[in-house]
A and B are shown apart, each in its own frame.
Chain A
Amino acid sequence: MTSAVSFSKVSRHFGAVRAVDAVDLVIEPGEFFAMLGPSGSGKTTCLRLIAGFEQPTSGHIEIFGETAEGVPPYRRNVNTVFQDYALFPHMNILDNVAYGLMVKGVGKAERHRLAEEALALVKLPSYGARKPGQLSGGQRQRVALARSLVNKPKVLLLDEPLGALDLKLREQMQEELKSLQRKLGITFIFVTHDQGEALSMADRVAVFSEGRIVQAGSPREIYNRPRTRFVADFVGSSNVIAPEAMAKLGGERKWASLRPEAIVLAREGIAASVKATSFLGSATRVSVQAGETALSVMVPAGQPAPEVGATVRLSWKPSDVHYMEGEA
């Protein structure tokens, strides 16, 4: 089967800056793929390379088996949901949604019918006559989504689409995007710097750093088995433990990651003093100091959380310690 998007050795340099540096990437049809990374890591440039707003400096991009280099954005069956939505302020919502059909020459009645359908799909029926300025951020986001989906793209690109929404709305949209993607079967490629968002929504995640993909895999893999310190640091609230400290804690002399929820407070084990606690609802995060190593421990709700200043004993299964690549 042809892949939806494939990059081979793709680079995009801006002068001396290597925004994207020899990236290899394969995204399968129907996949919900997240590009995760801090700002400036090259994930948005990758998205823009797929959309056609940027051309690669070197390397080869294929979209559904066809060469993408030199093809302008308006001749790609790929649509983008922009970070700030980029709705046309001089058109009403219906004309915004119907825009892609209008420029392709679909008749007025037909395109308005399809636009209404798309608006219903994103749960905004009967909003067509309003102007973008009259809508809230969450509604504009849905319009932007409808405006892309109405074109029935093969690949939908989403550039931090939930970044501007408040927490509750964001969680709601995460679920809706996910179910929409399942329903439509379109390949979604999603750029975000929010690891929680990437892990909860995507089938697969690629973690970007300095123009390269550091690790790509399922959210579970990325979370449980980070390949490098960078991934562990960025993706998780995981404890990243230096080789020396790990040796002292009874492990191998290597960089290691240990998830806070894998550590339990026990009768026996490594002594540590409690520095701070923060109540998270479903659990309490306890920051402890074991010798020179600061660790964070997740105590599930229902178990008594220790007081600040108390001495506790920590234990974990050796199999929960994940050793990473990189210099010792």
Chain B
Amino acid sequence: MSEVAAASILPKTDGLLGRISDLFWRRPGFLLFLMLLPPLLWLGIIYVGSLIALLLQSFFAIDDFSGLVVYEITLDTYKQLLIPANFDIILRTILMAATVTVASAALGFPIAYYAARYATGKWKAVFYLGVMLPLWSSYLVKVYAWKLILAKEGILTWIFEKLHLSWLLDAVLALPVIGGNSLSISYIGTFLVFVYIWLPYMILPTQAALERVSGNLIEASSDLGATPGQTFRTVLLPLALPGLIAGSIFTFSLTLGDYIIPQIIGSSRLFIGQAVYTQQGTAGNVPLAAAFSVVPIVIMGVYLWAAKRMGAFNAL
């Protein structure tokens, strides 16, 4: 009898690896458990754990006289958020995050649309490179580069001068509240840099969502008598909405939490991130810092709940 003929139809395995494979095949749940254990430990202990520690802090308060944290559950720290100086910080941050998000969506959508609908082969690669390239260099370098661009003696002022449009720049800077002495110390400057820094996070999920919208849905809509505008409102936008919402979660929450951009570019008025930074550092008021940190969490929760209520995730 030859070797080949001796091979069994259902051969047994002898090796250890073979036995392990067989065990996993018989108990797929065990494999899943082993795979999920490390990330769950990481998320559960390090991530959620520290979040809970932070939340707990916010329910303590600081003793005004001694400056020490009093470990008693109280809502006093949250009340402090409502005093005008602190509430202004929250309002300012939310407004900035909202305008940055809307602007990112308006700028990002056409780019994402082009990439998903028209770009193929080489142009697709150019798109990914173009969108990702800014993410490769340090965030600080980019922000300081923008400081130079936007400064009073910066490139932008020079360009406006050369184009004989200085009056336009001056008119923009003369706007109340959002204007200022130069772009680099105005809300407009902060806004521009936020949009620049977070734009890729809006484009990529939007492009992924649009990529999944089959081209003949657009054709079907047109075939059924919808003008391009109607097709956009009733087919394209609803189907791209989960991507836009995902992108807006990035742009909105990243803006809510950032403390470096408004510190380098903008008026000296504080944003939530800066408030957290100063409260836990120089001011030594960890409970108030924690309470400030809870604000973005609550806002994002409300935002997602509202988005779900409006049917933003129906197309998922």
Contact = CB atoms under 8 A, between A and B. Distances in A.
B224 A100 contact: yes
A279 interface: no
B225 A151 contact: yes
Contact of A90 (B223, B226, B314): B314
A99 B239 contact: no
B154 interface: no
A86 interface: yes
A192 interface: no
Interface in B182-230: 214, 216-217, 219-228, 230
A88 B217 contact: yes
Interface stretch (A12-20, A76-84, A200-208, A220-228): A76-84
Task: Please classify how large the interface on chain B is, using the bins under 10, 10 to 19, 20 to 34, 35 or more.
Answer: 20 to 34
Nearest to B220: A86
Interface string B280-316: 0000000000000000000000000000000000110
A30 interface: no
A103 B227 contact: yes
Contacts of B134: none
B224 A99 contact: yes
Contacts of A102: 234
B220 A82 contact: yes
A269 interface: no
B219 A79 contact: no
B249 interface: no
A106 to B, nearest CB: 11
Nearest to B315: A90
Contacts of B214: 84, 86
A104 interface: yes
A103 B217 CA distance: 15
A72 B221 CA distance: 12
Given A82-B220, A86-B217, A90-B238, A100 B225 contact: yes
B62 interface: no
B235 interface: yes
Given A84-B216, A86-B217, A151 B224 contact: yes
Contacts of B220: 80, 82, 86-88
A100 B224 CA distance: 5
Given A84-B216, A103-B230, A103-B234, A90 B224 contact: no
Given A90-B315, A103-B234, A82 B216 contact: yes
Contacts of B314: 90
A208 B192 CA distance: 57
A51 B46 CA distance: 59
A102 B230 CA distance: 10
A103 B219 contact: no
Interface in A46-82: 51-53, 72-75, 78-80, 82
B222 A89 contact: no
A141 to B, nearest CB: 14
A147 interface: yes
A77 to B, nearest CB: 9
Given A84-B216, A86-B216, A86-B217, A103 B239 contact: no
A110 B226 CA distance: 18
B170 to A, nearest CB: 45
Contacts of A84: 214, 216
B315 A99 contact: no
A89 B230 contact: no
Contacts of B222: 52-53, 72-74
B132 to A, nearest CB: 29
Contact of A89 (B225, B227, B315): B315
Contact of B224 (A53, A72, A147): A147
B236 to A, nearest CB: 11
Contacts of B230: 103
A79 B239 contact: no
Nearest to A80: B223
Nearest to A83: B216
Contacts of B221: 88, 99, 103
A289 to B, nearest CB: 40
Contacts of B235: 88
A89 B224 contact: no
B225 A53 contact: no
A86 B219 contact: yes
A48 to B, nearest CB: 9
A151 B239 CA distance: 24
A79 B224 contact: yes
Contacts of A147: 224
Interface string A164-200: 0000000000000000000000000000000000000
Q: Which of B217, B222, B225, B239 has the most CB of A within 10 A?
A: B225
Q: Which of A72, A78, A82 has the most CB of B within 10 A?
A: A82
Contacts of B219: 51, 53, 73, 80, 82, 86
Interface of B: 214, 216-217, 219-228, 230, 234-235, 238-239, 314-315
In the A-B complex, list the 7 residue pairs whose CB atoms are closest, starting with the nearest: A100-B224, A86-B220, A103-B226, A90-B315, A73-B222, A86-B216, A80-B223
20 contacts: A52-B222, A53-B222, A53-B223, A74-B225, A79-B224, A80-B219, A82-B216, A82-B220, A84-B214, A86-B214, A86-B216, A86-B217, A87-B220, A88-B220, A89-B315, A99-B221, A99-B234, A103-B227, A103-B230, A151-B224
Interface of A: 51-53, 72-75, 78-80, 82, 84, 86-90, 99-100, 102-104, 147-148, 151
Given A84-B214, A100-B224, A151-B224, 20 more contacts: A51-B219, A51-B223, A53-B219, A73-B223, A74-B224, A74-B226, A74-B227, A79-B224, A80-B220, A82-B219, A86-B214, A87-B220, A88-B217, A88-B221, A88-B235, A89-B217, A90-B238, A90-B314, A103-B234, A147-B224
